[in-house]
A and B are shown apart, each in its own frame.
Chain A
Amino acid sequence: MIKLEEIRFFYTRDSFNLSIPQLAIGRSEKLAITGPSGCGKTSLLNLISGIVRPVSGKIFLGDIELSALNQQDLKDMRLMKMGLIFQQFELLEYLNVLDNILLPFRINPILQLQEKTKERAAALAASMGLGDKLKRYPAKLSQGERQRVSVARALVTKPEVLICDEPTANLDPVNRDRILDIIDSYCDETKTTLIMVTHDQEILHRFHRIINILDYSNYKDKNELNG
């Protein structure tokens, strides 16, 4: 499903250097990416989702070579095929729960916002225990509720790949498990590929495969990293 070939990536002002000779992620696979802070976990997610481009190498999503697409096509592809969940939830404070969930449909004309989309978004929110909070603004929600909105926003486009960057880092165990249960069951039901960056050892049993990014990143002194 996703294939990375001879990927090299680094920031020009940094000693950071990510090198991935070969990485394949299968359809409906659940992959956890672990490793200490600052070693390139988020960079790998950004490469897979097309937010950043590799210095060299190729990335494929199915038959599409992401690294060959122009910026707009990359964005369109991301919007249609990928769902992103961020550590800081990244909700728009001035949009209510329903509008935040529907945001992908509002920001790009490639997705058409229809009445049934709104119904689907409301149903998704209800399935996550947010049914009575559709008109609330993020500031009035708990941390767990905010992250559930963020998950609903990622799922509303029916993505083929769900990319999560430490989505439970700011949550207590109860909320963490609730969010992960939602993500797990969605991926199981829809055969969605899940790629998640996490520090949390307690949740690793949920994944099919775990990779440590240190096996790919190349630091002068790996002992400097903590995590």
Chain B
Amino acid sequence: MGNSFYIAWKYLQFYWGKTLLLILSIALVIFIPLGLNYLVNKGSADLMDRAEKTPLIVGAKGSETELSLSSLYFKKPKIEPLEYREVEKLKSQQLGKPIPLNLEYQVKEQPIVGTTSDYFEFRELELKEGRRMAILGECVLGAKAAEKLNAKVGGSVISSPSGAFDVAGSFPLKMSVVGILAETGTPDDEAVFTDIKTSWVISGKAHGHQDLQQIENDTLLLNKNETQAVASPAVLSYTEITPENINSFHFHGDPSDYPVNAIIVQPNDRKSALMLRGRYENEQDAAQMLVPAEVIAQLVDTMISVRDLLILAGVIIGIACLAILAFVFALSIKLRKAELTTMKHIGASRNFIGSVLSLEVGIVLISAIIISGLLTLLMGNFGIPLIEKFIS
């Protein structure tokens, strides 16, 4: 065995280019169905896991899949937001705990999640360092968000404008980082959590500026009397909320009208969940309530159907490839006839020559299986975020 392995190994080593090509070809043939199966299974399990941990979601009527995925994975929603009064309505019904999510803005590539501290309890998120946000302008970073933004507790992050041409829209707000969450392996790691009111400051619904009554420069005021002063556009809003200017921040209009992209609802019990769902059955209602697990299960079913088709195609292609490889191997034995005859003439037995050839095939196959296994593991690490990105 030792000597036949040595000769087989030397052959493969000498013709390393051909050997590598052969190994990679076989590895791919094995990997495509194996990796796809693993990817879809793992992806489905991850998707279902997060969906099942989220009992109910309320959002504007529209695509259920869109609403579920944007609420679970913090993707910018493509459906209209609800008004905050929907949260107040749910609170007043006392059938569960509503957790608002405002998902319109980002810090670079990281989503800003405007919510309440109830979200941390709901997802059982623990702080690695620092504390939760307490006042306007503070934020808590997910573990990966902190890494990607290179931010630490005591530092700050700045919200990105919603678009290059959105001069009238959100303006950058510098937020103080007061806490960093422990890693969870979920989309929460990627998020910048802030109070929903801070997200409204980013959207321009609330802002802070100099006390207009104190302004002496008339060019900054459109109108001023003893009870009212109207600022001109020349008055600059604060881009950072500090202890000195926090009292100047104020909301315009009724906060009940302010936007909320989705509301996670934690029903008190099963009966409350049923009652809540019943109340959102009205077709006239602008809002819908859905069970994310049901929506994601449909999505997973579609993924599994596609996977099965692709695996079938992969297996057929794989069989064809293996047949070609077997043919190539048979041809190579023919080409090596002189070499094998020499070994036979010198004194090698038929078994020895057979074991050399078998070991060559074995080494190639085992290497291909190992590589396809490694590729599958890599797929597990890098493919799942890809599949999530693709789905969303």
A: residues with CB less than 8 A from B are 49, 51, 72, 75-76, 78-79, 84, 86, 88, 90, 92-95, 99, 103-110, 113, 137, 153
Docked pose: A93 CA to B18 CA in angstroms: 15
Number of B interface residues in the complex (CB < 8 A): 19
B147 to chain A, nearest CB (A): 49
Among B3, B339, B349, point to the contact of A72 (Cβ < 8 A): B349
Contact A84 B345 (CB under 8 A): yes
Q: A75-B347, A153-B346 are in contact. List 13 more A-B contacts (CB 8 A).
A: A76-B347, A78-B345, A78-B346, A86-B342, A88-B338, A94-B15, A95-B7, A103-B346, A104-B346, A107-B347, A107-B348, A107-B352, A110-B347
Contact B342 A79 (CB under 8 A): no
Closest A residue to B1 by CB, please name it.
A109
9 interchain residue pairs of minimum CB distance: A79-B347, A94-B14, A107-B348, A90-B342, A106-B3, A75-B347, A108-B347, A94-B11, A78-B347
Q: Does B343 contact A (CB under 8 A)?
A: yes
Q: Is the interface of B mostly helix, strand, loop or mixed?
A: helix
Closest A residue to B350 by CB, please name it.
A71
Interface mask (B1-25 → A, CB under 8 Å = 1, otherwise 0): 0010011001101110000000000
Contact A51 B348 (CB under 8 A): no
A-B contact pairs, 20 of them (CB 8 A): A51-B345, A75-B344, A75-B347, A75-B349, A79-B346, A84-B345, A84-B346, A86-B345, A88-B338, A92-B339, A93-B14, A103-B346, A104-B346, A104-B347, A106-B3, A106-B6, A106-B7, A108-B349, A110-B347, A137-B14
A108 to chain B, nearest CB (A): 5
Docked pose: A86 CA to B341 CA in angstroms: 12
B336 to chain A, nearest CB (A): 10
Among B3, B342, B346, B348, point to the contact of A113 (Cβ < 8 A): B3
Q: Across the interface, which residues of B come within 8 angstroms of A72, CB to CB?
A: 349
Contact B342 A92 (CB under 8 A): yes
A28 to chain B, nearest CB (A): 23
Contact A94 B10 (CB under 8 A): yes
Q: Across the interface, which residues of B come within 8 angstroms of A99, CB to CB?
A: 10
